[in-house]
Amino acid sequence: MKIALAQLNYHVGNFESNTNKIIQHIREAKQNGADLVVFAELCVCGYPARDFLEFNEFITLCDEAAKTIATECHDIACIIGLPTPNNNPEGKDLNNSAYFIENGTVKAVVNKALLPNYDIFDEYRYFEPSTQFSCIDFKGKRIALTICEDLWNTIENPLYITRPMDTLIKQKPDVMINIAASPFAYNHDEERIEILKDNAIRYNLPLFYVNHVGAQTELIFDGGSLIFDNTGVLLDELPYFKEALTYYTLNDDASVSFEHASTIKAAHQSDIEQIHEGLILGIKDYFYKSGFKQAILGLSGGIDSAVVCALAAEALGPENVMAVLLPSRFSSDHSIKDAEDLVKNLGCKSETVAIAKITESFESALSPQFKNLPFNIAEENLQSRSRAVVLMAMCNKFGYILLNTSNKSEAAVGYGTLYGDMCGGISVIGDVFKTQVFELAREINKDREIIPENTIVKPPSAELRPDQKDTDSLPEYDILDAILYEYILNRRSSAEIIKLGFEEAVVRKVLRLVNISEHKRYQTPPILRVSPKAFGMGRRMPIVGKYLS
């Protein structure tokens, strides 16, 4: 049996595009002699569809798309994923389903059993878990078809009380096929490989795994679809962050053969290399799927805005990036020169709008209310908000989308100005710690100097008052990020972090800053997710909570 795996970039709710793409790949697979072509979980509607799933019309459009796809399935079968009505009056209204389509009709329906409801996942909000499992017979082979999480319960601390494959294996299948929508995080590829390898070994079956690729708002899908033999040996690995259509033959002895050379990487990319590729895809798809082409950002001469500008230029083309220099009376000459050098290196568009007179106008208008009180954070934030007013005005006038340039360290401790430097349409590096931003700059510069060296080596500063440095308000970033990593990603308490050797006063200050800044993060743009625990939909904290504050 010749099996084609289609690793594709779908668009949530874009039924015409998704259906056409699926049909195109069915036709291509058929021309290349495939018996079966496999698409990803919920490919018909895109993933995650979230509360679109609560609209009856949305589910109807999924059904209509599936019927259109079925008309293409003659002399070839396909597996597609879509939401379907739950005909049992008890339980949730929908199932997360896979259709096995053959000879123009749906031959079998498989419903997902293990519905993730942690971190970014909300599947139990919409779907009823399946409790019945049956294999599918096709071309003399018996297929155990499962959906994403259904194979993830082999971990040391199981999240669920059942394993669908424990039932399916009793029906003596010849092969496992798993369709998935598994989002990217820089450590997720190794985990994914180990879990799927464990399934192949546990059930002594070859395994074909198909994942999404592409970005849906803040979620990035990295592809990396996988094929294992029945002993757990990884036979092939589809490209990361790219679409692909590949072919395999499942032989009578359960071995898997294929004509193309294996695309398994000799060494997986480093975390920073993966983050770099993920962010490029995230920016590109956010703009393309939203119908926008041009980005704008404030370019300060600092490393955060420099990295975002370089990423945007790579993702969208420098001709589609407008970098606006917004010097204040506290901006240093070297920062302005660093920003100008970056623009020259990238070839992007640029404008300069000095904000000194704008902020002076605000201060003058507010002088009766400020009553000659000393300069403080109020005047500092007026500068940041003046910049935001300029940038948003240009967005409205010319149709740009504003890129937010705050990093994860700043977002964590609230080191930013609401309605100032924290505004934007999409936060590009809001899931990248400051220490990782420096690594990203080096990655961007690996072939030639794009980001000026001075931008990378100078002490970070918001430049909102004379001689200001970030370390005036925060610990050194290597210390700050290490504490934040333990608290945010590892969920350690202050006591546990202190036991690791960090100074108690610093730990308590940092954790307090994180928790009292929750109200700011509620009002920031969507953050491109590249880590296992990002701010946004995957980390849900009360604003008024007292714990650890």
pLDDT digits (tens, 9 = 90+) for 21-33: 999 999 999 999 9
405 labelled as ligand-binding? yes
Q: What confidence score (pLDDT) does residue 549 get?
A: 55
Residue located via tokens 């080596």: 457
Is residue 447 marked as binding? no
Q: Is 229 annotated as a binding residue?
A: no
Active-site annotation holds for 423? no
* Tens-digit pLDDT profile for residues 59-78: 999 999 999 999 999 999 99
Q: State the pLDDT at residue 85.
A: 97
414 is known to lie in a ligand binding site? no
At residue 457, the 3 state secondary structure works out as helix
Check residue 259 and give its pLDDT.
85
Has 518 been annotated as catalytic? no
Q: What is the mean pLDDT of the chain?
A: 94
Q: How far from 39 is each of 6, 210, 223, 281, CA to CA, in Å?
A: 5, 7, 12, 20
Q: How far apart are CA 434 and CA 34, in angstroms?
A: 48
Q: Which of 62, 73, 135, 148 is catalytic?
A: 148
CB-based contact 154:195 (threshold 8 Å)? yes
Is 303 labelled a binding residue?
yes
Looking at residue 474, what is its pLDDT?
86
The structure tokens listed for 342 are 């970056």
Q: Helix (H, G, I), strand (E, B), or coil: what is residue 330?
A: coil
Q: Is 182 annotated as a binding residue?
A: yes
Backbone torsions φ then ψ of 247, nearest 5 degrees: -125, 140
Number of C-beta neighbours around residue 222 at 10 A: 27
Residues of 42-63 as b/e, b for ≥16 C-beta within 10 angstroms? bbbbbbbbeebbeeeebbebbe
- DSSP for 98-150, please give it: EEEEETTEEEEEEE------STT--GGGTBPPP-----EEETTEEEEEEEGGG
Flag whether 13 is marked binding.
no
Question: Are the C-beta atoms of residues 181 and 211 closer than 8 Å to each other?
Answer: yes
The residue count for the chain: 549
- Residue 456's closest CA among 307, 266, 252? 307
* Domain extents in the chain: 2-260, 273-463
Which residue out of 41, 72, 463, 518 is catalytically annotated? Answer: 41
In this prediction, residue 193 carries a pLDDT of 95
Q: Nearest CA to 165 among 189, 149, 180?
A: 149
Pairing relation of β-strands 426-427 and 401-404? parallel
The whole-angstrom separation of Cα 321 and Cα 310 is: 9
Task: Give the model's pLDDT for residue 265.
Answer: 74
Question: For 193-196, which contacts have Cβ atoms below 8 Å and span 24 or more sequence positions?
Answer: 193/226, 193/234, 195/151, 195/152, 195/154, 195/155, 196/151, 196/226, 196/228
Q: Is 487 helix (H, G, I), strand (E, B) or coil?
A: helix
Residue 340 to residue 337: CA distance in whole angstroms: 5
The verdict on whether residue 431 carries a ligand-binding annotation is: no
Q: Is 103 left (phi over 0), alpha (psi -120 to 50) or beta?
A: left
Predicted confidence at residue 466, as pLDDT, reads 72
Residue 47 annotated in ligand binding: no
Q: Is 333 annotated as a binding residue?
A: no
Low-confidence ranges of the chain (pLDDT < 70): 155-157, 266-267, 331-333, 462-465, 468, 548-549
> Strands 256-257 and 244-250, how do they pair?
antiparallel
Q: Is 285 annotated as a binding residue?
A: no
Annotation-wise, does 146 bind a ligand?
no
Task: Indicate the angle between helix axes 303-316 and 271-290, nearest 10 degrees.
Answer: 60
pLDDT at 161: 82
Catalytic annotation present for 43: no
Of the candidate CATH numbers 3.30.559.30, 3.30.450.20, 3.40.50.620, 3.30.499.10, the domain formed by 273-463 belongs to 3.40.50.620
For 2-260, which CATH class? alpha beta
List the catalytic residue out of 2, 112, 141, 408: 112
Residue 463: per-residue pLDDT:
63
Which residue is listed with tokens 């002895």? 253
What strands, in cross-sheet order, belong to the sheet with 256-257? 105-111, 94-102, 77-85, 36-38, 2-7, 244-250, 256-257
Q: What is the pTM of this model?
A: 0.94
> Does the annotation place 298 within a ligand binding site?
yes
N-terminal to C-terminal alpha carbon distance within the chain:
60
Rounded CA separation 106/73 (Å): 10
Eight-class DSSP state of 488: I
pLDDT 10s digits, 88-112? 989 999 999 999 999 999 999 999 9
- Annotated binding-site residue? 361: no
